[in-house]
């Protein structure tokens, strides 16, 4: 795996695909600069080598050129984070970009305008990728968040740098974290899969059964498994057409010697509302008019034991409707357990979909080993897919 450390960037121009798709408020202030901060080590290493950086990114989903999606809005924030005055090219290809790159001196950073002003970017257009390739000597991909897309700047451009392409530190770290869970993790390995639906997690479950010793299934998925085994789930979220699949998963897990843990009790509510009436019920005895919206106390205790016995932990998806405080306790308790296991030496990776939002909201960000920066990219990695942006560098 080629990383930044395999290159000396002295007097070289690095063309870096970063993920600066950051949230902006109505005055175009960056409200969360995590993605910029995450790319900093890569940029600083190149500058310290005596090289210069040409940064390319998308921002939002513009339809053609739309000022509100201009990357000019983030120049100041990027400059502040890097501690370097960042230059800006008002186009990401063509004369404007090429002239700005030609004038770039060692130690300088140039930010290109939004890649997605061109539909060729998402189309993975080869000619567009070739134009981009003129803007650097070495191609560095540090954008995990878009690594699952075969776009011009994330994948296609790499073919114009057959010997001179590598992963940035952030992307390398993402790859290593996934490998630690899926391939080289110390046993027992545990995956916690929560969230709303079996249908959106099924490929992950199937892939992961070959990798883990324990699998906790929580959140809305619980009820498809419970009903499939004859339990009464009342009005809880349930995918009847996935019940057979749930039984197959349970059978497969047995064959593969994977222990599956499902909530035994729930916090049930008489409405999908934070102010609903609630009671603790056995997960197999939820009457009509009631729905399970969080893991109950016995389940939390069971999960805590499994988590503390594990040496490698993957967490994707909440155990309940964590957006409502009444039903966030299970997710918070799980986070506490994973934090404790991590403190005791376990490796813990959190990521995929909305998991990162939950982890940040409850302040677990610095208490787990690694929080992935990619939602969709992480989910596809867990499904066992080779991401095109990663394959293009390994090629
Ligand atoms: P996902 O994107 O699949 O990880 O699902 C996350 C969503 O699952 C969150 O918005 C939660 O509110 C929701 N969720 C978790 N548990 C339940 C439940 N018991 N009933 C309904 N929705 C749930």
* DSSP labels, 160-213: G-SSSEEE-HHHHHHHHHHHHHHTSPPSSEEEEE-SS-STTTHHHHHHHTTT-S
364 CB-side CA count, 13 A: 30
Alpha carbon of 277 to ligand 1 centroid (Å): 19
pLDDT over 80 at 353, yes or no: no
pLDDT for the residue 45? 98
In this structure, CATH architecture of domain 185-382: 3-Layer(aba) Sandwich (3.40)
Provide the phi-psi class of 289: left if phi over 0, else alpha when psi is between -120 and 50, else beta. left
The CATH class for the domain spanning 4-171 reads alpha beta
Tell me the pTM: 0.90
Which pLDDT tens digit goes with each residue over 38-76? 999 999 999 999 999 999 999 999 999 999 999 999 999
Residue range(s) occupied by CATH 3.40.50.1260 in the chain: 4-171, 185-382
pLDDT over 80 at 146, yes or no: yes
Going by C-beta distance under 8 Å and a sequence separation of 6 or more, which residues neighbour residue 363?
none
Of the residues 318, 327, 382, which should be mutated to test ligand 1's pocket, given the most ligand atoms within 8 Å of the CB?
318
Block residue for tokens 């995990």: 144
287 vs 291: CA distance, rounded Å = 8
Alpha carbon of 176 to ligand 1 centroid (Å): 28
Catalytic residue set: 35, 197, 353, 376
Percent of the chain at pLDDT > 70 equals 100
* pLDDT category of residue 373 using cuts at 50, 70 and 90: confident
* Mean pLDDT confidence for 171-191: 95
């Amino acid at each position: 795996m080629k990383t930044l450390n395999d290159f000396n960037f002295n007097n070289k121009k690095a063309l870096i695909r970063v993920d600066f798709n950051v949230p902006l408020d109505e005055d175009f202030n960056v409200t969360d600069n995590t993605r910029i901060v995450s790319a900093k080590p890569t940029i600083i290493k190149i500058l310290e080598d005596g090289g210069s950086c040409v940064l390319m990114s998308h921002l939002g989903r513009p339809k053609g050129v739309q000022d509100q999606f201009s990357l000019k809005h983030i120049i100041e924030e990027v400059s502040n984070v890097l501690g370097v005055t960042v230059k800006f090219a008002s186009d990401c290809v063509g004369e404007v970009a090429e002239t700005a790159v030609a004038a770039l001196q060692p130690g300088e950073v140039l930010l290109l305008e939004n890649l997605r002003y061109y539909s060729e970017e998402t189309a993975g257009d080869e000619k567009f990728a070739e134009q981009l390739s003129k803007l650097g000597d070495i191609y560095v991909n540090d954008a995990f968040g878009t690594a699952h897309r075969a776009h011009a700047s994330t994948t296609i451009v790499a073919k114009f740098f057959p010997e001179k392409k590598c992963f940035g530190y952030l992307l390398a770290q993402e790859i290593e974290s996934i490998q630690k869970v899926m391939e080289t993790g110390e046993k027992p390995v545990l995956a916690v899969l929560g969230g709303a639906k079996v249908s959106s997690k099924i490929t992950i479950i199937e892939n992961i059964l070959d990798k883990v010793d324990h699998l906790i299934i929580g959140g809305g998925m619980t009820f498809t498994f419970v009903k499939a085994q004859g339990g009464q789930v009342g009005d809880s979220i349930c995918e009847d057409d996935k019940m057979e699949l749930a039984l197959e998963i349970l059978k497969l897990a047995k064959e593969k010697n994977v222990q599956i843990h499902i909530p035994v009790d729930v916090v049930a509510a008489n409405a999908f509302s934070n102010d609903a009436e609630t009671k603790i019920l056995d997960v197999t005895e939820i009457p009509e008019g009631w729905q399970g919206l969080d893991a109950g106390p016995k389940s939390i205790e069971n999960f805590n034991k499994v988590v503390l016995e594990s040496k490698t932990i993957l967490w994707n998806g909440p155990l309940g409707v964590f957006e409502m405080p009444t039903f966030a306790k299970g997710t918070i308790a799980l986070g506490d357990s994973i934090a404790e296991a991590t403190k005791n030496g376990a490796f813990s990776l959190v990521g995929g979909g909305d998991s990162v939002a939950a982890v940040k909201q409850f302040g677990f960000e610095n208490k787990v080993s690694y929080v992935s920066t990619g939602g969709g990219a992480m989910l596809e990695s867990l499904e066992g897919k080779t991401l095109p942006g990663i394959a293009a560098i390994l090629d």
